[in-house]
Amino acid sequence: MSDDNKVRYWWAPGSCRGPFCRDVIEFTESSITFDGYFYDSDAHQLPQQRILKLLVTDYVDGHRIHLKQLAIYHVEIYEKIEGADTSVIAADDEYGDGGICFFPSNMITLKFRVLQKDFDADEEKRILATMTKIPYNR
């Protein structure tokens, strides 16, 4: 499968805390194992609800990629298992002080429960509104 047809895993609500899946190793309807990041802290304890979309390239129009949705899930992440460090590190900086980490990441397994599956765009907006506390306006 070419990179254009590779399944993309998109999480909402989006944030710089992730989850971000650089490369998915395994996906089931109860867990996902990936190389990437998912930062959690005391303020963001599990369980957490997210929307997870599986997307593939539908077609490319010039430099614009149009994606097609394969599936959509409303999930509750209840466990995070962190594995090997897969950070991208430069060999040396200009001062010879060692490498710079450009992309801190790990092998991560997230275990989750599917709360709802294959819903429409209106339902997605309603779910996101409850997660983010932003009113849903139809």
Gap between the terminal Cα atoms of the chain: 38
Task: Provide the domain count of the chain.
Answer: 1
> CA neighbours within 13 Å on the CB side: how many for 49?
13
Segments forming the whole domain that contains residue 31: 3-132
Judge whether residue 2 has pLDDT over 60. Answer: no
Write down the pLDDT at residue 93: 61
Write down the pLDDT at residue 13: 87
Please indicate, yes or no, if residue 121 is contained in any of the structural domains. Answer: yes
Please indicate, yes or no, if residue 75 is contained in any of the structural domains. Answer: yes
> Omega before 47 cis (within 30°)?
yes
Is the CA virtual torsion 87, 111, 68, 136 positive or negative?
A: negative
Please indicate, yes or no, if residue 62 is contained in any of the structural domains. Answer: yes
Please indicate, yes or no, if residue 116 is contained in any of the structural domains. Answer: yes
> Which runs of consecutive H residues, i.e. helices, occur in the chain?
121-132
Which has the minimum average pLDDT: 37-41, 53-57, 102-106? 37-41
Write down the pLDDT at residue 137: 65
More confident residue, 81 or 133: 81
Judge whether residue 42 has pLDDT over 60. Answer: no
Highest mean pLDDT among 31-45, 50-64, 105-119: 105-119
How far, in whole angstroms, is CA 122 from its chain's centroid?
21
Write down the pLDDT at residue 6: 86
Judge whether residue 41 has pLDDT over 70. Answer: no
Please indicate, yes or no, if residue 10 is contained in any of the structural domains. Answer: yes
Name the pTM for this structure.
0.83
Highest mean pLDDT among 31-40, 42-51, 105-114: 105-114
Please indicate, yes or no, if residue 137 is contained in any of the structural domains. Answer: no
Please indicate, yes or no, if residue 46 is contained in any of the structural domains. Answer: yes
